[in-house]
């Protein structure tokens, strides 16, 4: 089946311009190693430009989740520094948000209530507008009063992306967000994410096991191996076999 993408859903690698509204991210010698095993991440140097779409791949245990936990502020680097938009990151930050593999929705709240969660300080009228806008972005307009159990897996993940978007983050972190979904739903949501990235001008760091997904979505791909950056290259310059070789070699 051939999927024709509208202009704003072209693979990110087709867009070379930096749109510059999202937050830039810099890692300088960032290290986090767990206990005596020495497993973990780093030292890692990485720069993600404002508005860039970066995909991170790597085999199981290569440090992808450790990297996202550091970026999300759940872990503090043991060495080195992380800067978000030029400012040192010292913990969870309001300008970034994380979408996890399993959409952690509150079952007792409606879809609208879930998306509005975290917007308690936003004035009511703006909150309503943000919720509606975010649900529109993920194709769920009109679902405000449904409950999570009335939704499919793909729709639940859309709600968690809408909840992240409603906070208007400068940096959107996604940890294998589509891995629990069937291939068709995953492809559809990946293309929706490209549209959202393009329209919202947000910086994206997307972790995936799927090399083809990384090359389809990312402008740039970073491959981790044993907690170190084994490869950092534009997606356009890479193929799945090359990426696989870099991870195996
Ligand atoms: N809390 C922990 N205590 C000790 N070691 C840990 C801990 N969390 C992760 N590790 C180890 O650190 C390394 C990197 O783990 P991490 O979860 O970041 O990898 P990953 O690439 O996300 O793996 P996966 O794809 O399986 O989720 C692994 O060797 C793992 O066993």
Average pLDDT over residues 14-18: 50
Alpha carbon distance 127, 132 (integer Å)? 9
> How far is residue 37 from each of residues 29, 43, 71, measured CA to CA in Å?
20, 16, 22
Q: Which residue among 61, 72, 76, 227 has the greatest number of ligand 1 atoms within 8 angstroms of its CB, and so is best to mutate?
A: 61
Domain ranges of the chain: 23-95+173-179+204-249
Residue 118 is predicted with a pLDDT of 87
Residues within a 6 A CB radius of ligand 1? 34-35, 37, 39-40, 58, 60-66
Give the long-range contacts of residues 57-61, CB within 8 A, separation 24 or more: 57/207, 57/208, 57/209, 57/210, 57/211, 57/214, 57/221, 57/222, 57/223, 57/224, 57/243, 57/247, 58/223, 58/224, 58/225, 58/230, 58/247, 59/225, 59/247, 60/209
The protein residue whose alpha carbon is closest to atom 31 in ligand 1 is: 61
Among the atoms of ligand 1, which is closest to the Cα of residue 67?
18
Alpha carbon distance 42, 158 (integer Å)? 32
CATH 1.10.760.10 corresponds to the domain 23-95+173-179+204-249? no
3: pLDDT strictly greater than 50: no
Residue 60 Cα to ligand 1 middle (Å):
8
- In tens, the pLDDT along 158-208 reads 999 999 999 999 999 999 999 888 888 888 889 989 999 998 889 999 999
Residue 34 Cα to ligand 1 middle (Å):
9
Alpha carbon distance 78, 210 (integer Å)? 29
- In tens, the pLDDT along 39-62 reads 999 999 999 999 999 999 999 999
Instruction: Tell me how crowded residue 159 is: count the other CB atoms within 10 A of its CB.
Output: 24
Helices (H), the chain: 64-71, 111-116, 124-137, 153-166, 183-200, 211-217, 240-248
- Three-class secondary structure of residue 4 per DSSP: coil
129: pLDDT strictly greater than 90: yes
Choose between 132 and 11: higher pLDDT. 132
């Amino acid at each position: 089946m051939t999927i024709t993408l509208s202009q704003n859903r072209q693979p990110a690698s087709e867009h070379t311009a930096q749109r510059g509204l999202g937050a830039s991210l810099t890692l300088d010698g960032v290290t986090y190693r767990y206990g005596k095993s020495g497993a973990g991440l780093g030292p890692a140097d990485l720069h993600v430009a404002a508005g860039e779409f970066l995909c991170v791949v790597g085999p199981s245990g290569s440090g992808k989740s450790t990297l996202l936990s550091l970026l999300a502020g759940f872990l503090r680097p043991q060495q080195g520094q992380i800067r978000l938009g030029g400012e040192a990151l010292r913990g969870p930050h309001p300008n970034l948000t994380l979408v996890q593999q399993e959409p952690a929705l509150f079952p007792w709240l409606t879809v609208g209530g879930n998306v509005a969660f975290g917007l308690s300080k936003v004035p009511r009228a703006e909150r309503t507008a943000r919720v509606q806008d975010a649900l529109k972005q993920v194709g769920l307009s009109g679902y405000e009063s449904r409950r999570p159990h009335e939704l499919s897996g793909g729709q639940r993940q859309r709600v968690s992306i809408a909840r992240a978007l409603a906070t208007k983050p400068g940096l959107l972190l996604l940890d294998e967000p589509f891995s629990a979904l069937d291939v068709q739903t995953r492809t559809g949501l990946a293309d929706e994410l490209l549209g959202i990235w393009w329209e919202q001008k947000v910086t994206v760091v997307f972790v995936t096991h799927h090399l083809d997904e990384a090359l389809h979505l990312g402008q740039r791909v970073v491959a981790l191996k044993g907690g170190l950056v084994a490869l950092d290259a534009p997606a356009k310059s890479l193929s799945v076999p090359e990426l696989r070789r870099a991870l195996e070699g």
